[in-house]
Amino acid sequence: MSSDPFHLNRPVHLARRDVFYEKAAERIRRLPSQKLIDEQRNTAEQALYLLREARRHAEAANLSEKTSTQSRLFVKFMDIVVDNTLSVTRMLRRQLTVNASDNALDGFTGATGTASKMSGHYRRCAVLLLKGLMNSLQQAEKPFRDLCQTSIAKMTSVDKARYEKAYKHFGELADSEAEKAVEDVL
């Protein structure tokens, strides 16, 4: 048994980190193929929830003295990915807002067509942000796999078994957890 009190739950935190990050990346890769803005926003919101959870568990796993420099860098990388996903989500939300027939932009300004122009602007911004986000995730694929493999290789057989059990469990729950989190927000 480790004298490090934070080491005990490290395999479970790592499993949640890995599952939630993978599920979020999967959702982000799906975004360009979705045609409806509301569907994209919903998917982006789910990805955002999953990324925040992945980051939170990466940070919790890093409380252990067994944390590597790469694990610490991953948390900082996650800050960037979370922020970029939040930006995409906000642009999609804004686009939906100004597309509404009773949008506040045209209503408050008394102008017509301003909302339409802004909708296109928000759309272009979302597309550019998404391209950058997808590029970041693509560049991170190999380093993330290496991080996972290194983390698992350093585990005892008992910790590996706990990690695998937790990974399977959270893999089964992550989708419904993300869907519920988005429903609670809306």
Q: pLDDT tens-digit profile of 61-77?
A: 999 887 899 999 999 99
3-state secondary structure of 2: coil
Torsion of CA 170, 173, 176, 181, to 10 degrees: -50
Looking at 64-156, list the stretches that DSSP marks H as alpha helix, in order from N- to C-terminal side: 69-99, 104-109, 114-153
User: Hunting for tokens 């350093």 — which residue is that?
Assistant: 154
> Rounded distance, CA 94 to CA 122, Å?
7
**Chain centroid to CA 174: how far?**
12
pLDDT digits (tens, 9 = 90+) for 74-93: 999 999 999 999 999 999 99
Cβ 98 vs Cβ 122: under 8 Å: yes
Give me the count of residues in the chain: 186
Res 123: pLDDT: 94
CA angle centred on 131, ends 141 and 90, rounded to 5°: 110
CA distance linking residue 153 with residue 147, whole number of Å: 10
Summarised one tens digit per residue, pLDDT across range 102-121 is 888 888 888 888 888 899 99
pLDDT at 153: 94
Sign of the CA dihedral with 49 first, then 135, 91, and 76 last: positive
What pLDDT is recorded for position 113? 80
Provide the residue type at 76 as one letter: K
Q: Which two tokens stand for residue 119?
A: 């909708």
Residue ranges per structural domain of the chain: 10-89+144-181
- Do the Cβ atoms of 31 and 87 come closer than 8 Å? no
User: What is the C-alpha separation between 65 and 44, in angstroms, rounded?
Assistant: 34
Mean pLDDT of the chain: 92
What is the rounded CA–CA span in Å between residue 118 and residue 144? 37
Q: Position 14: which residue type?
A: L
